[in-house]
A and B are shown apart, each in its own frame.
Chain A
Amino acid sequence: MPTVRLRDAGEYPEPIQKLFEVAKAWFKYDFAQPPAMSRVMAWDPELGAFHGRAMKRAMTPGEFSRAEKEMVAAVVSGVNACAY
């Protein structure tokens, strides 16, 4: 169980809610609520903006495809024993 209460999307200010829509498009999935990590990163929009842009830049297809990069991400998460 999370150690903090994850706020619903509706509890965030409107500009952040627009960013949640962008996240939905990124994942190409219609979440009932934005993923927990999106809501956590939105807690500090200044950090979230930098971090999110760096993540998007890293995940954008280049020499490796998005799918190949998602697998790199999954492997790193697995090695870090992160269930999320």
Chain B
Amino acid sequence: MAGDAPWYEAALLVGVTNALNVVADSPLESLEPASPSAEAQTVFTEIRAFYDRADVPVAFRRVASDPGYLADLWGAARRVFTDNTLTRRHKEALAFAVSVTTRSEFGTAFHLAEMRRLGVGERGVMEVLGVTQMFSSYTKIADTLQLEPDMDHIAAADPSPAPGGTPPPPRTRPPEAP
């Protein structure tokens, strides 16, 4: 996990996971169009193929009355869950951890199913759940005692530029006073 790229990727994944969960877990059944438009159906077909399942996850169905929005939301979700610096399998594990931590009923069940579909065994599920539970403990202990970060200096800063960008010019030291 050296460098910043995997961490940027993980953070974006956390955001999109939470975005899907908040809609799926809210009482928004009435927003699901009874007859989604042809444009929405096209997106649904992509979603079914990506997840290799017959139904469309509720988080997407509930925004289908605006097919343009649905397409963009799906594009973001597909992007963050596709293999990249992090594997899709690992990303599902992260999304599962986020969902458990935020008590998302939809996200927990959905990402657990996705982890299993992608080959994570019961031992692997327990590993992710164990880490999630242990760090749900440590974080609350740290917050209660208002502990300050003391391990953030262990990893070196990543000097690489933004994707497609150019490295920053070398920093020059200001002239020293005589």
Residues of A within 8 A of B10 (CB): 71, 74-75
Choice from A27, A57, A70 contacting B130 with Cβ under 8 Å: A57
Contacts of A33 in B (CB 8 A): 150
Encode contact with A along B114-142: 1 for CB under 8 Å, 0 otherwise: 00000011011001101111111111111
**Contact flag A76-B124 (CB < 8 Å), given A71-B90, A82-B139:** no
| Cα distance A40–B146 in the bound complex, in angstroms | 12
Task: Enumerate chain B residues within 8 angstroms of A77, measured Cβ to Cβ.
Answer: 135, 138-139
Interface size on A, residues (CB 8 A): 40
Task: Give residues of chain A (37-67) contacting chain B, Cβ–Cβ below 8 Å.
Answer: 37, 40-41, 51, 54-55, 57-59, 62-64, 67
| B54 CB–A CB distance under 8 Å | no
Given A64-B124, A76-B135, A76-B136, does the pair A82, B146 have CB atoms closer than 8 Å? no
> Is B101 close to A, CB under 8 A?
yes
B93 near A64 with CB under 8 A, answer yes
In Å, the complex CA distance between A3 and B137 comes to 18
Chain A residues, CB < 8 A from B6: 71
B14 contacts A by Cβ under 8 Å: yes
Partner of B150, one of A36, A41, A74: A36
Instruction: Name the residue in B86, B121, B132 with the highest tally of chain A Cβ atoms < 10 Å from its Cβ.
Output: B132
Chain A residues contacting B86 (CB-CB under 8 Å) are 71
13 A-B pairs with CB atoms under 8 Å apart are A33-B150, A37-B147, A58-B133, A59-B131, A63-B121, A63-B127, A68-B93, A72-B97, A72-B135, A75-B98, A76-B136, A77-B135, A82-B142
